[in-house]
Structure 1
Amino acid sequence: MASMTSLLLGYDIGVMSNVEVYMGDQSITDENVEFLMGITKVISLLGSAMACWTSNRIGHRRTIILAGAFFFIGFLLMGIRPGYFYLLLGRLFVNIGVGYALMIGPVYVAEISPAFSRGFLTSLPEAFINLGTLLGYISHYVFSKFRQDLGWRVMLYVGAIPLVLLTFGVLIMPESPRWLIMQGRLGDAKRVLVRISDFEEEATLRLAEIKEAAGIPEACNDDVVKVTKQSTGEGRWRSSSVYHMLLCAVGMHFFQQASGIDTILLYSPCIFEKAGITSHNAKLLMTIAVDFVKTMFILVATFLLDRAGRRPLLLSSIGGMIFSLASLGTCLTVIDHSHAKVKWAMAMCITSVLSYVAFFSIGMGPITLLYSSEIFPLRLRVQGCAIGVAVNQVVSGLLSMKFILVYRAITLGGVAFMFSAIASVAWLYFYMLMPETKGRTLEEMGHLFGKYTRWRSTAREMEMKRNNDATETATRGNNA
Structure 2
Amino acid sequence: MRCFAPQIICAMIGFGLLGSAKGLDEGLIATTVDLPSFIQEFKLHASNLSAAERANRLSNITSMVNLGCLPAAVLAFLLSDSISPLWMMRQLCVLWIVGVALVISSAGNYGQLLAGRLIVGLGIGQAGIIGPIYLAEIAPASWRGMLVGMYAASEYVGVLIGYFAGYGASLHIANDNNQQWIIPQSSQIVMAGFILIVSIGCVESPRYLCQKQRTDRATRALSRLRTHPEDSPEIRDEIESILQQTAHNATRQPGRSLLTSWKLLFGQSANRKRLLFLLSAQLLSQWSGTNAITTYAPKFFSILGMTGASEKLFKTAIFGAVKLASALLCALLFLDRLGRKRCLMLGITLQVLALLYVAIYLTALSSGSGGSASAHRAAIAAIAAIYITGVGYAFGWNSIQYLITAEMLPTAVRTLGTSLLMCVHYANRFALTKAVPTMMLADALQPKGTFWFFFVVALLGLLWGLFLLPETKGRKLEETSRLIS
Scaled by the length of structure 1, the TM-score of the pair is 0.88
Q: What CA distance in whole angstroms lies between the structure 2 residues aligned with 1:229 and 1:354?
A: 48
1:331-346 to 2 correspondence within 5 Å?
A: 331-341=361-371, 342-346=375-379
- Of 197, 211, 222, which aligns to 2:243? 211
After superposition, give the CA deviation of every residue in 1:247-299 in whole Å (9 maximum; x if it has no partner).
23212221111111111222232332232210000000110111111111101
Secondary structure in structure 1 of the residue aligned to 2:445: helix
Q: Which stretch has the larger CA shift, 3-12 or 255-264?
A: 3-12
- Of 79, 98, 107, which aligns to 1:73? 98
Whether the aligned pair in 2 keeps the contact of 1:332 and 1:345 (CA below 8 Å) is: no
Report the structure number with the largest CA radius of gyration: 1
The corresponding residue for 2:221 is: 192
1:328 aligns with 2:355: no
Whether the aligned pair in 1 keeps the contact of 2:31 and 2:167 (CA below 8 Å) is: no
Whether the aligned pair in 2 keeps the contact of 1:253 and 1:391 (CA below 8 Å) is: yes
1:174-193 to 2 correspondence within 5 Å?
A: 174-193=203-222
Flag the 1:212–1:188 CA change in 2: closer, same or farther, 3 A: same
Q: Which stretch has the larger CA shift, 277-286 or 441-450?
A: 441-450
1:134-213 to 2 correspondence within 5 Å?
A: 134-144=160-170, 145-147=172-174, 148-199=177-228, 200-213=232-245
1:27 aligns with 2:43: yes
The corresponding residue for 1:6 is: 19
1:257 aligns with 2:275: no
1:90 aligns with 2:116: yes
Q: Amino acid of the residue matched to residue 16 of structure 1?
A: I
The corresponding residue for 2:8 is: none
Residue 244 (structure 1) shift: 2.6
Residue 228 (structure 1) shift: 4.3
1:436 aligns with 2:477: no
Residue 189 (structure 1) shift: 0.8
Q: Which stretch has the larger CA shift, 150-159 or 373-382?
A: 150-159
Secondary structure in structure 2 of the residue aligned to 1:123: helix
Q: Amino acid of the residue matched to residue 55 of structure 1?
A: S
Q: What CA distance in whole angstroms lies between the structure 2 residues aligned with 1:48 and 1:340?
A: 47
- Of 133, 140, 157, which aligns to 2:159? 133
Residue 339 (structure 1) shift: 5.0
After superposition, give the CA deviation of every residue in 1:205-248 in whole Å (9 maximum; x if it has no partner).
11111111111699xxxxxxx97417995661233332232123
Residue 309 (structure 1) shift: 0.5
Whether the aligned pair in 2 keeps the contact of 1:335 and 1:346 (CA below 8 Å) is: no
Residue 363 (structure 1) shift: 1.6
After superposition, give the CA deviation of every residue in 1:319-345 in whole Å (9 maximum; x if it has no partner).
221111111100111112125321132
Residue 176 (structure 1) shift: 0.8
Flag the 1:270–1:142 CA change in 2: closer, same or farther, 3 A: closer
Q: What CA distance in whole angstroms lies between the structure 1 residues aligned with 2:324 and 2:434?
A: 26
Q: Amino acid of the residue matched to residue 409 of structure 2?
A: F
- Of 307, 314, 326, which aligns to 2:337? 307
Scaled by the length of structure 2, the TM-score of the pair is 0.87
Q: Which stretch has the larger CA shift, 149-158 or 352-361?
A: 149-158
Q: What CA distance in whole angstroms lies between the structure 2 residues aligned with 1:36 and 1:139?
A: 19
Q: Amino acid of the residue matched to residue 329 of structure 1?
A: A
The corresponding residue for 1:295 is: 324
1:339-418 to 2 correspondence within 5 Å?
A: 339-341=369-371, 342-408=375-441, 409-418=444-453
Number of aligned residues:
443
Q: Amino acid of the residue matched to residue 153 of structure 2?
A: A
Flag the 1:325–1:48 CA change in 2: closer, same or farther, 3 A: same
Q: Amino acid of the residue matched to residue 77 of structure 1?
A: L
Moved segments of 4+, more than 3 Å: 230-235
Flag the 1:151–1:267 CA change in 2: closer, same or farther, 3 A: closer
Gaps of 5+ in 1: 219-225, 451-480
Gaps of 5+ in 2: 1-13, 45-53
Flag the 1:398–1:202 CA change in 2: closer, same or farther, 3 A: same
Whether the aligned pair in 2 keeps the contact of 1:241 and 1:446 (CA below 8 Å) is: no
Q: Which stretch has the larger CA shift, 24-33 or 413-422?
A: 24-33
Residue 125 (structure 1) shift: 1.3
Q: What CA distance in whole angstroms lies between the structure 2 residues aligned with 1:163 and 1:268?
A: 25
The corresponding residue for 2:276 is: 247
Whether the aligned pair in 2 keeps the contact of 1:248 and 1:430 (CA below 8 Å) is: no
Q: Which stretch has the larger CA shift, 138-147 or 411-420?
A: 138-147
Whether the aligned pair in 2 keeps the contact of 1:335 and 1:345 (CA below 8 Å) is: no
Flag the 1:405–1:123 CA change in 2: closer, same or farther, 3 A: same
Flag the 1:325–1:340 CA change in 2: closer, same or farther, 3 A: closer
Q: What CA distance in whole angstroms lies between the structure 1 residues aligned with 2:393 and 2:65?
A: 24
